Structure 1
Amino acid sequence: MVRVGIVGCGSIGRVHAMSLNGLSGVSLCAFADIHKERAEEYSKEYTGGEGRAYESLEEMLQKEDLEAVHICTPHFCHTDLAVEGLEKGISVFMEKPPAITREQFVRLSKAEQSSKGRLGICFQNRYNETTKEVSRILKEEILGKVKGGRAFVTWNRGQSYYTESEWRGSLQTEGGGALMNQSIHTLDLLLHWLGRPVRTEATIRNHHLKCVIEVEDMVEAYMEFTKGDDPVRATFYATTAFGYDAPVFIELVCEKGVIRLEGGSVWYRTWEDEEPVYFQAAKGLAPGKEYWGRGHEACIRDFYHCLLTKEAYGNDLSSVENTFFTVMDIYDSARNKER
């Protein structure tokens, strides 16, 4: 039985707790939050009061014999807490982003390499049925090679989303807005299918909450993935100033046709076919929200399967390196007004 603790008892920590409670071979036995009453509430809700509550990861690790911890805290804490766990030889499963600076990422990588514990990153949308369907179409080369893509994330985050939080909206604590927080999963999928950009050019703006937040509410990026006269190109757009949380949209253009993912559906067609082929994902009961994916449970289940079997985990730090550094490149391009 793997003994597990959760650090950060907010909204995303709840998704992790619900997912862990359904896993065999896993015992959720400790909770930590700077507001100890939140950890106590989690203990009552998810362990019937048997799980002990703490005010810090340090205290929890001193008093508990844990084999894994989940980092579900504000962004600026992610790296420090993950490194703390890894240095004690404990496996760590952490929410995105793994870091908010390049230096933090390098530090995390060094801690992972020298630790007896394993590190997993929660990029849950890689486990969506729609993601797997697009990957299948590409692997079977039904439409030939990918020639480009576009992606849109148009969601709504109003003033209360930031003012009710102690950390959202600040560059120091959130690290970024529409890109870093809301649309990083969609960028991750786009890069999963297109690779590493060789050129990035981007802009960021704050349109609707200028006096409330420091982070961006809009990002647009142009990326090239190959050089030459006919490069593979992609465009990416995300905003949190839309009227509602619309389904994520990703489209890939290929040699022989086009694939479109929108929310829980995928369709593709060749240039010659008039009628597309449709795929609809099942309506899941797993924790999470439809518009940002219900793959947490599958992602977490896979992590513990790999811990127990000693298999390689697909969402380790190296697997998200491309996404993280592309996010950094987009921010650098936008802030420095250069490629």
Structure 2
Amino acid sequence: MLNFAIIGCGFIARKHALAIEKIDNANLIAVCDRIPKMMSFYSENYNVKTYTDSDEMLKNPLIDIVCICTPSGLHADIAEKVAAAKKHIVMEKPIAMTIEETDRIINASESNGVKLTIVHPNRFRTVVQETKKILDQKLLGKISHANCLVNWNRGQEYYDQASWRGTKAHDGGVLMNQAIHNLDLLLWFMGKPTEVFSLEATRLRDIEAEDVSAGIIRFENGSLANVQASTTVYPKNFEESITIFGEKGTIKIGGTNALHFEKLEVQNLDNPAIQNIVNRVEEDPWGTPGHQRIIEEIIFAIQNNAEPAVTGEDGKRALKLVLAFYESAASKTLVYI
């Protein structure tokens, strides 16, 4: 049995608590938030000890793993303390807001011998897993290009929930907060990026960061990708999709939450084989919830002295791509990664 604690009891923390509850060898024993009322849900629904001081909580020798669910700009300082206390780390995305902060997190984890995983749960969706298998088998042949679209709705009330939302220091905009999941998938599918160009705007939301972004990526293998992301769509989420065009096939993962194949045509897969793949997706599109898989994977990594499925370096790659988009938009130039 591994004991978990949560720091930061906002909305996303409930997904961590539910995931821990579903895993047989995981147990939530503590939560921490500077605002006591934020912890009432956990004290009422889980047998946990509550803390308003994370330093005090980290003295608890029974805690093995800490889920960090605070505003992103606070990740580095908290992670260093958690690692120094010899607790393993489950870090909500993005890993941090800067590369310097990211390196501090990774270095602290390595120097203290603790495991670090970043919550990029979309990798575990059934359709994503099936797409990755096809790409790893090189069934699409040479990749020409890809499209990555996240056109969602986040109304002003979403940003007004907390003063840190939509700020550049602690949250970022649609790329950092929503589309970073899809950029992580794009990197997982397409490989290393070498150049980006981006434009961004704040069109409809009263926030400091961007609410709409459009950009282009060139990858090391020569393929290109278009990226479009927004939180300005009326009246609700419209689409989340990734399309990959290859010389021997086309794949489109689509829908409002990128859960289904909207196109699956592969030269070397006959119709029955394709239908079998589609059926596996439709039978269980969400698969095991992503947060649960992330936590299961770090438990496996701890018990087997292995790397987690999503590492700190994976989190750094996704962040680096977002920051390259931001740099390009600010400078109005091509940015080399």
TM-score by length of 2: 0.90
- TM-fit CA distance, 1:285: 7.7
- TM-fit CA distance, 1:298: 1.4
Matched, 1:67 2:67: no
Matched, 1:2 2:2: yes
SS in 2 for 1:183: helix
* Aligned residue number for residue 222 of structure 1: 216
Report which stretch shifted further, 197-206 or 264-273.
264-273
Q: How does 1:128-207 map to 2 (within 5 A)?
A: 128-174=125-171, 176-207=172-203
Q: Which amino acid aligns with 1:181?
A: N
RMSD of Structure 2 on Structure 1 (CA): 2.1
Q: Which amino acid aligns with 1:252?
A: I
Q: How does 1:18-33 map to 2 (within 5 A)?
A: 18-33=18-33
- TM-fit CA distance, 1:84: 1.0
Q: How does 1:109-124 map to 2 (within 5 A)?
A: 109-124=106-121
- TM-fit CA distance, 1:273: 9.9
- TM-fit CA distance, 1:116: 2.0
* CA deviation vs aligned residue, 1:276-296 (integer Å, no higher than 9, x gap): 945234356889xxxxxx411
The separation in 1 between residues aligned to 2:298 and 2:270, in whole angstroms, is 42
Matched, 1:77 2:74: yes
Check whether the contact 2:124–2:287 (CA below 8 A) recurs between aligned residues: no
The separation in 1 between residues aligned to 2:27 and 2:106, in whole angstroms, is 27
SS in 1 for 2:187: helix
Q: How does 1:1-339 map to 2 (within 5 A)?
A: 1-45=1-45, 47=46, 50-63=47-60, 65-174=62-171, 176-209=172-205, 212-226=206-220, 231-243=222-234, 244-262=236-254, 263-266=258-261, 267-270=263-266, 277=274, 279=278, 280-283=281-284, 294-339=289-334
**1:28–1:270 distance in 2 versus 1, CA, 3 Å:** closer
Q: Which amino acid aligns with 1:335?
A: A
**1:79–1:286 distance in 2 versus 1, CA, 3 Å:** farther
**1:120–1:273 distance in 2 versus 1, CA, 3 Å:** closer
The separation in 2 between residues aligned to 1:218 and 1:327, in whole angstroms, is 13
SS in 1 for 2:149: strand
The separation in 2 between residues aligned to 1:301 and 1:103, in whole angstroms, is 29
SS in 2 for 1:242: coil
Check whether the contact 1:90–1:116 (CA below 8 A) recurs between aligned residues: no
The separation in 2 between residues aligned to 1:43 and 1:284, in whole angstroms, is 33
The separation in 2 between residues aligned to 1:84 and 1:116, in whole angstroms, is 13
What is the aligned-residue identity percentage? 29
SS in 2 for 1:203: strand
Check whether the contact 1:148–1:194 (CA below 8 A) recurs between aligned residues: no
* CA deviation vs aligned residue, 1:75-125 (integer Å, no higher than 9, x gap): 111121111101121101010011101211121122122012111111101
Check whether the contact 1:286–1:297 (CA below 8 A) recurs between aligned residues: no
SS in 2 for 1:31: strand
Check whether the contact 1:138–1:145 (CA below 8 A) recurs between aligned residues: no
Check whether the contact 2:126–2:284 (CA below 8 A) recurs between aligned residues: no
TM-score by length of 1: 0.90
> How many equivalent pairs are there?
324
The separation in 1 between residues aligned to 2:69 and 2:23, in whole angstroms, is 18
The separation in 2 between residues aligned to 1:21 and 1:286, in whole angstroms, is 17
SS in 1 for 2:58: helix
Q: Which amino acid aligns with 1:296?
A: H
**1:196–1:79 distance in 2 versus 1, CA, 3 Å:** same
Q: Which runs of 5+ in 2 are unaligned?
A: none
* CA deviation vs aligned residue, 1:129-187 (integer Å, no higher than 9, x gap): 1111101111223221322211100000111011122310211221x110000110011
**1:273–1:126 distance in 2 versus 1, CA, 3 Å:** closer
Report which stretch shifted further, 179-188 or 100-109.
100-109
SS in 1 for 2:213: strand
**1:285–1:248 distance in 2 versus 1, CA, 3 Å:** closer
* CA deviation vs aligned residue, 1:304-331 (integer Å, no higher than 9, x gap): 1221222221211122332121111111
- TM-fit CA distance, 1:21: 0.7
- TM-fit CA distance, 1:205: 0.5
- TM-fit CA distance, 1:59: 1.8
**1:136–1:284 distance in 2 versus 1, CA, 3 Å:** closer
